[in-house]
A and B are shown apart, each in its own frame.
Chain A
Amino acid sequence: MADVDIRAERERWVGTVFQEIELTVDPDRMLEWAVTAGETDPRFVDPTHPDFQASTAFPTHVNAARILPDDFPDFGTRGIDGGKSVEWHRPMRAGQTLRATVAIGDLYEKTGRSGTMVFIVNRMTFFDEQDRLVCIVDWRMIRSV
């Protein structure tokens, strides 16, 4: 890690799509997710509602086979989940077949009392059948080095 130039690695990796997946939105799982997270809005918990859609955090559970590119630098094995964000552009509907790209969204470091930590943002971007942007999920992974 001592030899890794974060700025150079950032330039190299940010925006690089290293995987693409396809998924079909399962209405039962969509509903169970919303109910168990405590949603009561009929848009999320009533499949007969004309605007039935996935609840806000639903796409955060989608996992790609690889979370980092194969030849991504090793920033240490001590990992912490730094949190997740979801940015919505249009609703996700039951039964839709979506395409998602997986990329490095950002790469940066912070130094504090406990030493240097590297933040790696895994960005999953979902598109609908018409290739319109549905949502963007960022997962911040922290490596303590």
Chain B
Amino acid sequence: MRIDEVELGDELPEERPDVSLETVRRFVKAAQMDFPRFTDHDAARAEGLPGAVIPGIMSQGQLAAMIHRWAPGSSILKIDTVFRTPMIVGTPVVCRGAVTGVNDDDTVEIDLTILSEESGATGVLGTAHVRLADS
């Protein structure tokens, strides 16, 4: 994708990442953060959470993956995410992105969100500064 193909307000194709218990278990092992609050619903409830929660850094990785699929070969110069509401493992989520800036230096700004498909709650908000591959 070239910079002249991108317009302010463009929306990235929505994605529904795999947030199954099995995948979250694999992720937390790779991330060396294998805590029950991420992998065991009962243990998470005992901590006062509504269930096992998707790690915030996994959500950040899912948003980055969405950007890379939208703009193959692009480089994320910066990504910043805020974790607002716990997203529950095994409950479908949807990742969204919209272009909020097209810069003179051939980079773009993207607003990012992850919503729970069940409750509609916003779990993650973020922004990314991205250099496109052909820039």
* Contact A85/B65 with A36-B23, A38-B18, A56-B60 known, Cβ cut-off 8 Å: no
Mask: chain B, 72-94; 1 = CB below 8 Å from A; 0 = not: 11011111111100000000000
* Interface size bracket, B side: 35 or more
Cβ-defined partner of A33 (8 Å) among B27, B56, B83: B27
Cβ-defined partner of B56 (8 Å) among A40, A41, A84: A84
Q: Is the CB of B65 within 8 A of A37?
A: yes
Count how many chain A residues have C-beta atoms less than 8 Å from C-beta atoms of the other chain.
Answer: 29
In the complex, number of A-B residue pairs with CB atoms less than 8 Å apart: 101
Q: Is the CB of A84 within 8 A of B23?
A: no
B31 CB-CB contact with A under 8 Å = yes
Closest Cβ of chain B to A97, distance in Å, is 17
Q: Is the CB of B33 within 8 A of A57?
A: no
Q: Is the CB of B82 within 8 A of A56?
A: no
Mask: chain B, 29-69; 1 = CB below 8 Å from A; 0 = not: 11111000000000000000000000011101110111011
Binding site for A on B (CB under 8 A): 15, 17-18, 23-24, 26-27, 29-33, 56-58, 60-62, 64-66, 68-69, 72-73, 75-83, 126
Q: Is the CB of B61 within 8 A of A37?
A: yes
Chain B residues whose C-beta falls within 8 Å of the C-beta of A55 in the assembled complex: 61, 64-65
A46 CB-CB contact with B under 8 Å = no
Binding site for B on A (CB under 8 A): 29, 32-34, 36-41, 43-44, 55-58, 60-61, 63, 81-88, 138, 140
Chain B residues whose C-beta falls within 8 Å of the C-beta of A140 in the assembled complex: 82
Closest Cβ of chain A to B71, distance in Å, is 10
Q: Is the CB of A61 within 8 A of B33?
A: yes
Q: Is the CB of A57 within 8 A of B30?
A: no
Of the candidates B32, B65, B76, B81, the one having the most CB atoms from chain A within 10 angstroms of its own CB is: B65
Q: Is the CB of A36 within 8 A of B58?
A: yes
Q: Is the CB of B27 within 8 A of A86?
A: no
Q: Is the CB of A32 within 8 A of B57?
A: no
Q: Is the CB of A86 within 8 A of B79?
A: yes
The 6 closest A-B pairs by CB, nearest first: A37-B61, A56-B64, A85-B80, A83-B82, A32-B30, A36-B27
Q: Is the CB of B78 within 8 A of A88?
A: yes
Cβ-defined partner of B60 (8 Å) among A43, A63, A84: A84
Cβ-defined partner of A38 (8 Å) among B65, B80, B81: B65
Cβ-defined partner of A56 (8 Å) among B15, B17, B24, B79: B79
Q: Which residue of B lies closest to A56 (CB)?
A: B64
Closest Cβ of chain A to B25, distance in Å, is 9
Q: Is the CB of A81 within 8 A of B68?
A: no
Q: Which residue of B lies closest to A87 (CB)?
A: B78
